[in-house]
Amino acid sequence: MKMNAYIAGVGMTRFGKHLDTTLKGLAGEAIQEALADAGISGSAIEVAYMGNAAGGVVQGQEMISGQVALRELGIGKIPVINVENACATSSTAFNQACTMITAGAYDVALACGFEKLFHEDKMRSFAAFDGAVDTENAEGMLGALQTLAAKAGEEVDMVNAGKTRSVFMDIYSLMTLAHMKQYGTTREQIAGVTAKNSFHGSLNPRAQFQTVMSVEEVLAAREIVYPLTLPMCSPIGDGAAAVVVVSERKAKELGLSKPVRVLSSALVSGYDEQAGDLSVGTYAANLAYEAAGVGPEDLSLVELHDASAPSEIISYEYLGICDKGQGGRLIEDGTTRLGGRLPVNVSGGLLRKGHPIGASGAAQIVELTEQLQGRGHLRQVENAVIGLAHNGGGLIGTDAAATVVSILSRGD
C-alpha cells in the first residue's frame, strides 16, 4: 500500500538478556525514548499499536499487554490495538499505524514491539516458536519438514526438533540444503553472512552480540543442525523498539528537521502456491516496490529477516537484489557489507542484534530511520536515501505465514 506518513521519533532498548527487567519496563524504555526523539509527550499519542508475540507463553501476560505497558507510562483513554503476527508482529503494528495515518484517521500514532524470550525454563522459549504453525493440523509441521526434506534429498530429524533447538532451525537447515544443491551455495558463503553481520553488530551498541567473527570461526562453532552452526542461527532475546508515526500536517507542525517518509508498506499472508506462483517474500516486495515507485536498484540499504544466515542469502533473491541462486556471490564480493554497493543488516541483523520476535520488525524501522537521518555513527551508510525493511514470520505449508516489506525515504 502506498503510504503518506512520516516518522517523528524512534527509540530502542539494547537487545539481550534482561531477566531483571519486566516486559512492560522494556516497552516503556523504548517508548519514552521515541517520544523524546519526536519532541512530544505521551498525551500527544492518539492511537497505539502494541506488538507482542510470546508474552502469553513466556510471561503469562495475555490479551492486554499493550494497555499494561502504556498504563505504566500514564497513557490511557486512547485506542490500543494489541498485535500478534509471529516474527512480523511489530512490523505489522508499524504497517497498521502508517495505514491509519495515511487514511487520515489520526495525526499521531505509536507502533511498538516488545518481547521477553529468556526464561529459566528454556522449553518455554522453544514453545513460543512451536505455536507459529498450524497446531490443529497434525501433519502441519511434520508435513512441512517432509516436503522440505524431499526437496533437499534429506531425512527428517524429528527426535531433536523443538527440544534441543527451535524447530525453525530444522526448517532453515532443509531450506539451506536444498539451496546448496540447486545453486551451489557453499557453507563458506553462508558463514560469510554471519561474519559480515558480526562486523556490523560490533559497531552497534544496542546489539546483543558485538564480537567480530571470521568465516573460519563461524564454521568451527558448535553445530546446531547441519549445515548450520550456532552463529548461523539468530539468538532469542529480550528487548523493545518504538516508532512515532505522524501525518504530513503534523510533521510540518512539529518542524521535523530530518523527516523520514514512509513510501509504502505491504503486509501479506502466505497462500497455497501453485506452480509458477511467486514466493510470499517476492510477492510482498513487488507490492512495496510498485506502491513506492522504486525498485531494488534505488535502494541505499536493507534491513532483512536473517533468522538464519542462509535466510539472508535467499532473501536477496526474494527482494530482487540479485537473480535466483546468486545470493552467495553478493557475500563473496562484499556487495552487502558496509561500504559495499548495497549494505544489508548494518544493525547486525537478527543474527547479531538479536531476535526478540515481537520487537524485531520495529527495530528494523529504527535502524533505517536513524540511517536516513545520518545518525548511524560508526556504521553510517554513506548518502543513505532509500531503505527497505523485510520481516517475515510463522510457517504454513513451506512458506512464511506473514510478511511485511516497508520502504522509507529521506524526506529532504
Q: What's the CATH number where 56 sits?
A: 3.40.47.10
Q: For the chain, what is the mean pLDDT?
A: 93
pLDDT, residue 168, reads 78
Give pLDDT tens digits for 326-339: 999 999 999 999 99
CA–CA distance, 407 with 181 (Å, rounded to integer): 33
pLDDT digits (tens, 9 = 90+) for 114-161: 999 998 787 787 777 778 888 787 666 666 777 777 777 777 666 665
Question: Please, how many CA atoms are within 13 Å of residue 153, restricted to the half-sphere of its CB?
Answer: 6
Closest-CA residue to 188 (of 200, 354, 342, 196): 196
Q: Which of 229, 148, 234 is nearest to 188 (CA)?
A: 229
pTM of the model: 0.96
Residue 138 forms part of a structural domain: no
Are 280 and 155 in contact, with CB atoms under 8 Å apart? Answer: no
Instruction: Tell me the pLDDT tens digit for each residue of 5-32.
Output: 999 999 999 999 999 999 999 999 999 9
Quickly tell me which residue has 539494547 as its cell.
Answer: 14
Question: Is 388's pLDDT higher than 70?
Answer: yes
Share of the chain above pLDDT 90, in %: 82
Instruction: Give me the domain span that covers residue 261.
Output: 2-121+235-410
265 with 390: CB under 8 angstroms? no
The whole-angstrom separation of Cα 114 and Cα 13 is 10
d(CA 270, CA 390): 15
Read off the amino acid at residue 198.
Answer: S
Among 94-103, 121-130, 200-209, 334-343, which stretch is predicted with the lowest mean pLDDT?
Answer: 121-130
The predicted structure's pLDDT at residue 142: 65
CA 310 – CA 327 distance, rounded (Å)? 9
Asked if 224 contacts 233 with a C-beta cutoff of 8 angstroms, the reply is yes
Grid coordinates given for 316? 536477496
Give domain status of residue 189, yes or no. no
Mean pLDDT of 288-307: 98
When divided into structural domains, the chain yields a total of: 1
DSSP sequence for 74-94: T--SS-EEEE-BTBTHHHHHH
> Which pLDDT value is given to residue 138?
62
With b for 16 or more beta-carbon neighbours within 10 A and e for fewer, the 395-411 pattern comes to bbbbbbbbbbbbbbbbb
Cell numbers placing 74:
500514564
Show which residues are catalytic.
87, 355
Quick one: which of 21, 24, 30, 17 has its CA closest to 365? 30
Per residue in 229-240, pLDDT (tens digit) is 999 999 999 999
pLDDT at 308 over 70: yes
Indicate whether 114 belongs to any domain. yes
Report the amino acid identity of residue 381.
V
Q: Which amino acid is at 371?
A: Q
Q: Quick check: 42 pLDDT over 90?
A: yes
For position 123, what pLDDT does the model report?
A: 77
The DSSP call for residue 53 is S
Mean pLDDT, rounded, for 61-86: 97
pLDDT at 162: 56
Residue 195 maps to a domain: no
Contact 268, 274 (CB under 8 A): no
